[in-house]
Amino acid sequence: MKLKSLEISGFKSFADDTKIEFEDGVTGIVGPNGSGKSNVSEAIRWVLGEQSAKNLRGSRMPDVIFAGSSDRKPLNRALVTMILDNSDHYLKSDYTEINVTRKLFRNGESVYQLNGQDCRLKDILNLFMDSGIGDNAFSMISQGRVEAIFNSKPEDRRFIVEELIGVSKYRLGKEKAQRE
């Protein structure tokens, strides 16, 4: 499974329709301060279902919609589509290519789509659950989080390692069995 491309339109600083293609290997995004590098990773976080505006450096979710600039009017909706190559069926879906879309309008209307079909947020969360890619997984490490990991207590750091290697679901199962 691999990230093929990302389409961003009206999301944060991306007023114009923007398509980013990810080639094989490692992709680095470079640019001056404030040029929108972090906004790209936030677009990924958002399309994966992020529900906290704070985690996207806003106070309310509509803050992700392009707010206008000196020469452009604000826009009415933000749209992000993430296209994944799933030819190895790493994600449990019959599709060999998976498109995930999230749209948000200023009036609060919100749309989620999987391969062009309207779906629920839950369907997107389910698709990525246990894949190591969800909005809470450690595949996305933001600037502040690196510091938080270094400064965390040993128990908390162990929790992070357990998440990474996939032990936590067994620990949760064990705790549940002990309670019952």
31 is an interface residue for ligand ATP by CB under 6 A: yes
Beta bridge partners of 78: 104
Contact 162, 171 (CB under 8 A): yes
Closer Cβ to ligand ATP, 142 or 168, answer by number: 142
Q: Which of 21, 35, 19, 43 is CA-nearest to residue 104?
A: 43
DSSP per position, 1-29:
-EEEEEEEESBTTB-S-EEEE--SS----
59 is an interface residue for ligand ATP by CB under 6 A: no
* Among the residue ranges 35-43, 50-58, 79-87, 108-116, the one whose residues contact Mg ion (CB under 5 A): 35-43
Q: Which residues have a Cβ under 8 Å from the Cβ of 21 and sit 6 or more positions away? A: 4, 5
35 is an interface residue for ligand ATP by CB under 6 A: yes
13 is an interface residue for ligand ATP by CB under 6 A: yes
Q: Which of 72, 70, 40 is CA-nearest to residue 56?
A: 40
With CB under 5 A as the contact rule, the residue among 38, 41, 93, 168 that binds Mg ion is: 38
* Residue 91: contacted member of ligand ATP, Mg ion, none (CB under 5 to 8 Å, by partner type): none
Q: Which residues have a Cβ under 8 Å from the Cβ of 62 and sit 6 or more positions away? A: 104, 106, 108
Residue 34: CB minimum distance to ligand ATP, A: 4
67 is an interface residue for ligand ATP by CB under 6 A: yes
Binding residues for ATP: 32-39
Count residues contacting ligand ATP (CB under 6 A)? 15
- Per CB under 6 A, residues contacting ligand ATP are 12-13, 31, 33-39, 63-67
